[in-house]
Chain A
Amino acid sequence: MIVAVAGGKGGVGKTLISTSLARSITSVQFLDCDVEEPNAHIFLQFTPRKSDQVEIEVPQYRKWKGEVCQEGAEFCRYQALVVVNEEMLVFPQLCTSCGGCFILCSDRVLKPMAHQVGRVKMGVSAGGIDLVVGELKVGEQRTVEVIKSVKTRLNRSRNVIIDCPPGNGRPTLEAVRGSEFCLMVTEPTPFGLEDLKGNKQLIDLLGIPAGVVINRSGGLYQEIGRWSAEAGLPILAEVPWDLEIARGAARGRTLQQIDQSWEERLRVLWGDIERLIK
């Protein structure tokens, strides 16, 4: 089973829910695809055993040949390659590694060079969970490449849980893509609802079933439940607003570590997801 945990808004508790869920079941592979701010390892205490660089191929200008390639610079849709004062400048942070410039320019002028955009760390956490963590290198912008690299490590023979980035753009799409179910975590505020609506649109593009978890529930705002019912999304769990949970989560403790009774509720949640996939 492959389950993505998303929701749109940042800081609603995606990582708390996904890591808690991971600890409640067996044979788990956990993919941290929130590569700009990966925090799952804080909840899953792991020692990385292996770390691979994520690299893209970018052009390197061979200045000593004294030539430039105007066509290549004009072609680049991302302004990663420009001609200035009869020299070429490369901005590797902007390069999508499409390779168009290599088709247009002679290898006397440009040659491919590996450029690191992040890394993927792998290891086993305390509970026997296989953990794969993507990390965007600070200052780099190829978030999607790092996410794709994490996902090439996906092990279908396991129960796979994917912690997705906030937002409803291409990074989240790539993180969710290929999942059999999307668990949307939200909070009962107009902000939570607004971003949940965006998340629903994104998940609909992929055509996979989804359900909602309301974190920090209670209080007066009832719109999440109302909207979810209209949108045909089941509310699969509610985690109440509770000072002990807030404090525990801040210290990287999963729900069942904060309160053991969550163990059973999380297993029920996993069972519900399993049923909804079938």
Chain B
Amino acid sequence: MKQLVIISGKGGTGKTSITGCLAALEKTHASIPPVIVDCDVDAPNLHLLLGGTEISQEAFSGPKLAVIDRSKVTDPVRCERSCPFGAITGLEVDPLRCVGCAVCELVCGSNAVRMVDREAATIYERETPYGQFFHARLRPGQPGFGGLITALRMKGEQVAVAKPDSLLLLDGSPGLGCQVIASLTGCDLALLVTEPGLGALADLERIHRLLGFFQIKTLVIINRYDLDRSLTRDVERFCLNNAIPIAGKIPFDNIFSEAAIAQRPAVEIAGVETARCLEGVYAQARESLYE
């Protein structure tokens, strides 16, 4: 099993669209279909492209929530002040501030606080035309935690390891925080999707530094490269200076929004030029994974 993660730093560069295309290409060209995991649990979208049918869903608990029994609180003022996150007011716990650290349990008096499970997310398993697919949805406003992504990836790995030569495709989230870190640890290859833009370049530089900590082999994809060729050259220069190979450049093509609306991977309906670029990216990624 090989694990390939698609990330970007900046949002909206086309991670999900490209992941969908890679899934479709792997399904066509490899001997067995890929296993796909959407690691963007905050704003998941890949399920909209892959379709298919839901096989199962399960609740996932995140950091616990403190519940205070006021009759057992020995020193209400001290109890209220104990919360480092200001989540306790009038001995009521605000679930939107509580991170489940349990410090109040230590301070408020014996048995005054119970740390209860809170359903933080739902994990879904789907059978799609492109392979088995796992995704999750975090409840709005929940504290982020890598544990959910690790759990999702484990589900994918369990399916993928059973089949030799299988590919586990991971669609990452924007940014470079805990969820991104949980998405990329242990991957064999990271595809960095960027675009010609000053913001995208700044974010590329930051995510590249993050990847340096993890020693993961990296390839860059420049999406919409023809929107600004001079900025594309800046991206290429950055890649050259940092010895990051470019897996391919994809032209601006309205087919990506049309494909999102049609809820299909763009490569299936794209014209010759865009399809060839996507196939080139796929070939480069495979070569890099198996060399």
Bound Cα distance A251, B263 (Å)? 31
Of B8-16, B24-32, B159-167, B237-245, the stretch lying at the interface with chain A is B8-16
Q: What is the bound-complex CA distance between A139 and B209, given in angstroms?
A: 8
CB pair B45–A191 under 8 Å, yes or no, is yes
With the chains together, A12 CA to B144 CA distance in Å? 22
0/1 string, A140-152, CB within 8 A of B gives 1: 0101100000000
Across the interface, do A15 and B140 meet the contact criterion of CB distance under 8 Å?
Answer: no
Q: Which residues of chain B (201-216) have a CB below 8 Å from chain A? A: 202-203, 206, 209-210, 213
B256 to chain A, nearest CB (A): 9
Docked complex: A164-195 residues within 8 A CB-CB of B: 165-173, 187-191, 194-195
Given A11-B11, A77-B64, A167-B173, also A202-B140 (CB < 8 A):
yes
9-residue interface stretch from B190-198, B269-277, B283-291: B190-198
Q: Which of chain A's residues has its CB closest to B141's CB?
A: A173
Q: Which among A98, A220, A251 is the interface contact of B103 at CB below 8 angstroms?
A: A98
CB-CB under 8 A from A104, the residues of chain B are 106
Are B143 and A169 in contact, CB atoms less than 8 angstroms apart?
Answer: yes
Q: Tell whether, in the assembled complex, residue A103 and residue B103 are in contact, meaning their CB atoms are under 8 Å apart.
A: yes
Q: Which of B9, B43, B178, B180 contacts A195 (CB 8 A)?
A: B43
| Option from A100, A143, A166 in Cβ contact (under 8 Å) with B144 | A143
* Contact assessment for A190 and B261 in the assembled complex, using a CB-CB cutoff below 8 Å: yes
Contact A96 B16 (CB under 8 A): no
Contact with B along A64-92 (1 / 0, CB 8 A): 00000000000101100000000000000
Bound: A243/B44 CA distance, A: 28
**Nearest chain A residue, comparing its CB with the CB of B11:** A10
Cβ proximity bits A243-260 to B, threshold 8 Å, 1 near / 0 not: 100110111100000000
Contact B102 A195 (CB under 8 A): no
Smallest distance from the beta carbon of A57 to chain B beta carbons, Å?
A: 9
Against B, the Cβ 8 Å flags (1 = close, 0 = not) of A14-52 are 010000000000000000000011010010000000000
For chain A, which range describes its interface: under 10, 10 to 19, 20 to 34, or 35 or more residues? 35 or more
Stretch at the interface among B52-60, B69-77, B93-101: B93-101
Q: Is the CB of B103 within 8 A of A42?
A: no
Query: With a CB–CB cut-off of 8 A, which chain B residues contact A198?
Result: 42-43, 137, 140
- List chain B residues, Cβ under 8 A from A201: 140
CB contacts (< 8 Å) of A250 on chain B: these are 195-200, 227-228, 231
> Given A39-B199, A194-B45, do A136 and B260 touch, yes or no (CB 8 Å)?
no
Is B10 a contact of A167 with CB atoms below 8 Å?
Answer: no
On chain B, the residues within 8 Å of A252 by CB distance are 198-199
**Is the C-beta of A60 less than 8 angstroms from some C-beta in chain B?**
no
User: What is the distance, in angstroms, from B146's C-beta to the closest C-beta of chain A?
Assistant: 8
User: Is B106 within 8 A of A169, CB to CB?
Assistant: no
Contact A77 B101 (CB under 8 A): yes
Q: How far is the CB of B63 from chain A (nearest CB, A)?
A: 7
- When distances are taken between beta carbons in the complex, the residues of chain A under 8 Å from B111 are none
Q: Which of B109-167 contact A (CB under 8 A)?
A: 137-138, 140-144, 146
Output the least CB separation between A93 and chain B (Å): 8
Q: Does B175 contact A (CB under 8 A)?
A: yes
Asked if B176 and A36 make an inter-chain contact with CB atoms under 8 angstroms apart, the answer reads yes
A131 to chain B, nearest CB (A): 15
Which chain B residues lie closer than 8 Å to A99 at the CB level? 84, 103
Picked from B40, B85, B106, B261, the residue with its CB within 8 Å of the CB of A100 is: B106
Option from B64, B101, B140 in Cβ contact (under 8 Å) with A169: B140
Complex Cα spacing A141 to B179, Å: 9
State A77–B261 Cα separation when bound (angstroms).
42
Decide if B89 is an interface residue (CB 8 Å cutoff): no
Q: What 1/0 mask marks residues of chain A from 217 to 230 whose CB sits below 8 Å from any chain B CB?
A: 00111000000000
**Chain A minimum-CB-distance residue to B231:** A250
Known: A77-B100, A247-B228, A251-B231. A168 touches B12 (CB 8 A): no
Say whether B18 faces chain A, with CB atoms less than 8 Å apart: no
Name which residue of chain B comes closest to A36, CB basis.
Answer: B175
Is the beta-carbon distance between A246 and B45 smaller than 8 angstroms?
A: no
Asked if residues A171 and B177 are in contact (CB atoms below 8 Å), the reply is yes
- Distance A194 CA – B260 CA, assembled complex (angstroms): 12
Is B34 interfacial (CB 8 A cutoff)? no
Say yes or no: A205 contacts B63, CB within 8 Å: no
Q: Which 7 A-B pairs have the closest CB atoms?
A: A11-B12, A10-B11, A167-B42, A36-B175, A98-B101, A250-B197, A39-B199
